[in-house]
Structure 1
Amino acid sequence: MNLTISGHHLEVTPALRNYVTTKLDRITRHFDQVVNIQVLLTVEKQKEKERRQRAECKIHVKGGDMFAESAHHDLYAALDELVDKLDRQVGKHKTRMQDHHHEAPKRVM
């Protein structure tokens, strides 16, 4: 799995990088066919009162791509919301990928 964490108007500290990797471990535990994860953390520099922290994530898995984004006043809360959204998407993708067709019962004569 390839993990890329980048920041826009933000320095990605080791503590922040560690927090993101521990949160994304939950997704890789549920679905092991994750190929690539790209995380973008941004701070929108508007007025000081309306300062918003955004987290975006693109996941490339076997069979498709997923994208989620979240915004909050606290970056850690935005990351928590983001991982919850991605976990739901990965769960749906996993159930779609499973074969739900059963073999027909054999007829007894």
Structure 2
Amino acid sequence: MNFKIRGHHLDITPPLHQYVVDKLSRVVRHFDQVIDVTVLLSVDNQKEKDRRQYAEVNVRVKGKDIFVQAHHQDLYAAIDELTDKLDRSVVRHKDRLQNHGRVIPKHSVALTAEAPE
């Protein structure tokens, strides 16, 4: 798995790098076919009182690219929100792959539950 972290208007310190790696490692726990992970951390400095911290991730998995973004006033909170969103997206993608589009119709379940006497 290739892992890249970039910063825009922000220096990526070793503790910040390690925090992102630790948080995003749980994605591999759910789905082991991750090819590439690219993280962009940025700070928007348009208004000093409304500083926004942005975290974006693009994950290439087998069959799809998953893009998730989050923003918050605290960068670590934005990373936490990002990992929660990414975790849900990866689990949903994995479920879709495992189901292969097969859905059991509701009426067939009701018919099998009722046995004729």
Give the alignment's TM-score, normalised by structure 1.
0.90
Give 1:84's aligned amino acid: D
- Structure showing greater Rg: 2
Structure 2 counterpart of 1:27 = 27
| Count of matched residue positions in the alignment of Structure 1 and Structure 2 | 102
Residues 1:80 and 2:76 aligned together: no
Q: CA RMSD in A?
A: 1.4
2:89 corresponds to 1:89: yes
1:45-86 Cα offsets, whole Å, 9 max, x none, are 112110000000000000111000000000000000000000
| Superimposed CA distance per residue, residues 8-41 of structure 1 (whole angstroms, 9 cap, x where no aligned partner) | 0000000000000000011111110000000000
Give the whole-Å Cα distance in 2 for the aligned partners of 1:16 and 1:101: 40
For structure 2, the 5+ residue unaligned runs are 103-117
2:46 maps to 46
Moved over 4 A (4+): 99-102
Q: 1:6 to 1:26 in 2, by over 3 A?
A: same
The amino acid that maps onto 1:98 is Q
Which residue number corresponds to residue 108 of structure 2? Answer: none
Tell me the TM-score normalized by structure 2.
0.84
Bigger helix fraction:
2
Cα distance in 1, alignment partners of residues 25 and 38 from structure 2 = 14
| Amino acid of the structure 2 residue aligned with 1:86 | L
CA distance in 2, matches of 1:14, 1:46: 26
Question: CA separation in 1, counterparts of 2:30 and 2:66?
Answer: 15
User: Which one-letter code corresponds to 2:12 in the other structure?
Assistant: V
Aligned to 2:16: 16
Query: What fraction of aligned residue pairs are identical, expressed as a percent?
Result: 58
